[in-house]
Structure 1
């Protein structure tokens, strides 16, 4: 099958009226569209990333809204469970963490 395609390709070039330089510019078509997609995703991806950072992160992970505060609360709870701090210190530090969070969530 490939040999028949290889034999038919020069005939198709001649039938379309192409010359010896007919085939080189066909490589520019995919390169053009690849460039267009890179441009679109580069511009809009940058805008989406900046908007996500302006909102406070990319979700509810460590970099998301209040993800650091929740991780700090979890660490504080682990220290209390291990006996590193007493209940009074735990509650005082927890109150400070929640006051600095900025909302009641």
Structure 2
């Protein structure tokens, strides 16, 4: 199931992770929620194939460890979402549609 592109209206901010919002619910070890706002990654969908990290021209993403999660033990975290240039490469290369980029959701 892909990321919910309407997460701002269907979820609420439940935490802050490394300077970006986490949209819940969050119930460890699963679900982990959606990380980021402008560049949003559904940690429960992300399978950590690394395409977004490899293709992002401005290095928005970092790996974050999520040990014990049923989908993968690490996730692509939008650690520098404010640097995003809205090229949408990460959205295009994500094999499970775990990423949503929306220029109208800039948080700067």
TM-score, normalised via structure 2 length = 0.21
Which one has the bigger strand percentage? 2
Q: Relative contact order (alpha carbons < 8 A, sep ≥ 6): 1 or 2 greater?
A: 2
Which one has the bigger helix percentage? 1
TM-score, normalised via structure 1 length = 0.21
